[in-house]
Amino acid sequence: MTAVTGPLPRTEPARHVSPYQSYVYAYPHKTAYRKMADRPRLRTLWATEPKDTLSLYLHIPFCEVRCGFCNLFTRIGAPDGLTGAYLDALERQATAVRDALGDSEPVRFATAAFGGGTPTFLTAAELERLCDIAEHRMGADLRAVPLSVEASPATASADRLEVLAARGTTRLSLGVQSFDDTEARAAVRPQRRADVEAALGRVRDARIPVLNIDLIYGIDGQTDASWLRSLDAALAWRPEELYLYPLYIRPLTGLGRRAGDADPAWDAQRLRLYRVGRDHLLAHGYEQQSMRMFRRADAPPQGTDDYACQTDGMIGLGCGARSYTAGLHYSFDYAVGMHEIRSIIDDYVSRPAADFAHAEYGRPMDADEARRRHLLQSLLQAEGLPLADYAGRFDGRAPADDFGPELARFASLGWLEPVEPGASATLRLTPEGLAHSDAIGPELFSPAVRAAMAAYERK
């Protein structure tokens, strides 16, 4: 992946630069992580970290089917006994991690999430056990903090949803992608609209406070009209949140054979459909939170959430999860190919408890990377980055002190709002800047992270 860092020389012909470079949901990406020979002890890594506002993430790497666009760390199905063995390993890891956090100061989780994969691939009884691990092993009070869980229509059964609702789930995210059966097949996601609608009915019956529906634009054969029909089908359920994702085609995925050079026509289609979807949701009472996230203006609050992803630590449990301290981001090995994923999962479930007291793969975070992460994870939100927050965290500095050329370029393209002077001064993207978030994010990657990602050997 190459990010544009300046105008091309006049002697070269102009080339198409895609607005869809990469979805930056975390920085640095796991392809920039490397195996650490010293395997640092978690107790040492967390010794001086604040522990009163942590995020807890539990990863379940199983799905009933793998969609053609998916490059998540997940395997299709599970042989008899594997999910139970995985939960056994997850419990061993949780015990080791909680011990590493120590008892010298209070440990408090301010937010929690179950992701994957598909957490609802687990049975209702296994979901009970997953919640028990979070509560009894880690000490998270799931009924007192926002708890988000990902699900698919095929696995959103009434008994599973009943467990999740009873254990405190405040947000259920359903991966629908399209209400059009033909489009779903084109995305290699076999499902019927009737089954999707039935699953949505069960979610509403479970009375989980926030329903999120994921939809994808840019699918083969998708038109403005069919996109609007999917949006309206989703709006009929009055979801508290909607996520609109551009389709990406990545190596080693079901659709990966189509991966190649930038396609200006496809980029134009995705950008047009994005604007159609954005404007439609804004007209129907939704507020834009980021390029992808839209929230209903009258949606109920999700509860107290004082966790700040830019600054606070995260504990990830499971072989596809990552954890964050101020000085190191770490995880287990990463893969996309099915054979390699199965091997990593098999290794995870066979590990003794002592193995979970160390970090194995990671990326050190120096002061420059910390500033980049803070800017990225703030600027790509619609509310933007208050300059006072940046100055308070980084010794009185301003973003322009550290990223002047990049910000000047964004401003020249019309992607940045003028910054109003005063105590509430905020660096914020324009609507067109939000539309180009997937080009802005990668342009802020450090040279070292870009080099590490480029050198990553796909597997």
Q: Hey, where are the domains in the chain?
A: 30-296, 367-455
SS3 content of the chain, % helix, strand, coil (to 5): 40, 15, 45
**Structure confidence by residue, pLDDT tens digits, 19-30:** 999 889 889 999
Over residues 146-192, the pLDDT tens digits come to 999 999 999 999 999 999 999 999 999 999 999 999 999 888 788 89
30-296: CATH topology is pyruvate-formate lyase- activating enzyme (3.80.30)
Distance between CA atoms of residues 357 and 338, nearest Å: 27
Residues 361/334, Cβ–Cβ less than 8 Å: yes
Q: How buried is 25 (Cβ within 10 angstroms: 0-12 exposed, 13-18 middle, 19+ buried)?
A: exposed
All residues at 6 or more sequence positions from 215 whose CB lies less than 8 Å from its CB, including other chains: 176, 177, 178, 230, 231, 234, 242, 243, 244, 245, 277
| Residue at token pair 């010298």 | 104
Percent of the chain with pLDDT over 90: 79
- pTM assigned to the model: 0.92
- Specify the pLDDT at position 422: 87
Closest by CA to 151, choosing from 214, 237, 96, is 214
Q: Is the pLDDT of residue 71 over 80?
A: no
Report whether 372 contacts 28 (CB < 8 A). no
- With cut-offs at 50, 70 and 90, classify the pLDDT of residue 10: very low
Which residue matches tokens 């300059």?
A: 387
Q: Quick one: pLDDT at residue 3?
A: 33
Res 68: pLDDT: 61
Q: How far is 22 from 10, CA to CA, in rounded Å?
A: 27
Contact yes or no for 160/124 (Cβ under 8 A): yes
CATH topology identical between 30-296 and 367-455: no
* H-only helix segments in 156-211: 158-166, 181-186, 193-206
Task: Give the CATH number of domain 367-455; options: 3.40.640.10, 2.30.42.10, 1.10.30.50, 1.10.10.920.
Answer: 1.10.10.920
DSSP H or E run through 60: strand 54-60
Q: Which residues contact 394 (CB under 8 A, 6 or more apart)?
A: 367, 370, 371, 374, 402
> What is the spatial distance between Cα 406 and Cα 444, in angstroms, rounded to a whole number?
7
